[in-house]
Amino acid sequence: MPQRTFSIIKPDAVRSGLAGTILSEIAKAGFGIVAIKKQTISKHEAEGFYAVHRSKPFFGSLTDFMSSGPLILMVLEKENAIADLRKLMGATDPAKAAEGTIRKKFATSIEHNAIHGSDAEETAAYEIGYWFAGYELL
Ligand code: ATP
Ligand code: MG
């Protein structure tokens, strides 16, 4: 049974013209695109999305960054999508990310790390519903 996950190409990567390259890596890895849109989000929307990190020291900076320019919001689908996307992304800190991963190749810092991917089934369901309406997911 295919599984859905939620992903963002973050503002650093969009600004650097890497959105197409990253999308191509995602497609080559076998993911189908269920829904996709380019959007600039507000600070308030970023705070809601990253609410689990509210108490972290980097919360203010992270939400400023995420609302600093257009990003690409996506719902992706394949067998084992959640774990496989996290593997394709690499570790949060690009310095620790494995060779060949998107963050190793395209991220510039632990904060400006090019891509987001849901980390579990419950977070994927929450994040898909946060950014996409039911009619966009048919
Ligand atoms: P994401 O949730 O974006 O897929 P992740 O699950 O690998 O990333 P999290 O721990 O959920 O990592 O952190 C969310 C985001 O917050 C990171 O992707 C990164 O942009 C930022 N971040 C995490 N740790 C730090 C840090 N120590 N300093 C600055 N920014 C950080
Ligand atoms: Mg996370």
Looking at ligand 1, which atom is closest to the CA of residue 92? 7
Average pLDDT over residues 32-54: 98
| Residue 29 banded pLDDT, cuts 50, 70, 90 | very high
Ligand 1 centroid to Cα of residue 111, in Å, is: 6
pLDDT at 84: 99
Q: Which domain holds residue 79?
A: 3-132
In a domain, 24, yes or no: yes
Domain count across the chain: 1
Query: Each residue of 73-95: b (16+ CB within 10 Å) or e?
Result: bbbbebeebbebbbebbbbeebe
CATH of the domain at 80: 3.30.70.141
In a domain, 123, yes or no: yes
Ligand 2 centroid to Cα of residue 20, in Å, is: 23
Whether 53 is a known active-site residue: answer no
Cβ contact 22:13 at 8 Å: yes
In a domain, 138, yes or no: no
Taking only the tens place, the pLDDT of each residue in 51-81 is 999 999 999 999 999 999 999 999 999 999 9
Q: Is the pTM of this model over 0.75?
A: yes
Q: Which of 82, 75, 43 is nearest to 62 (CA)?
A: 43
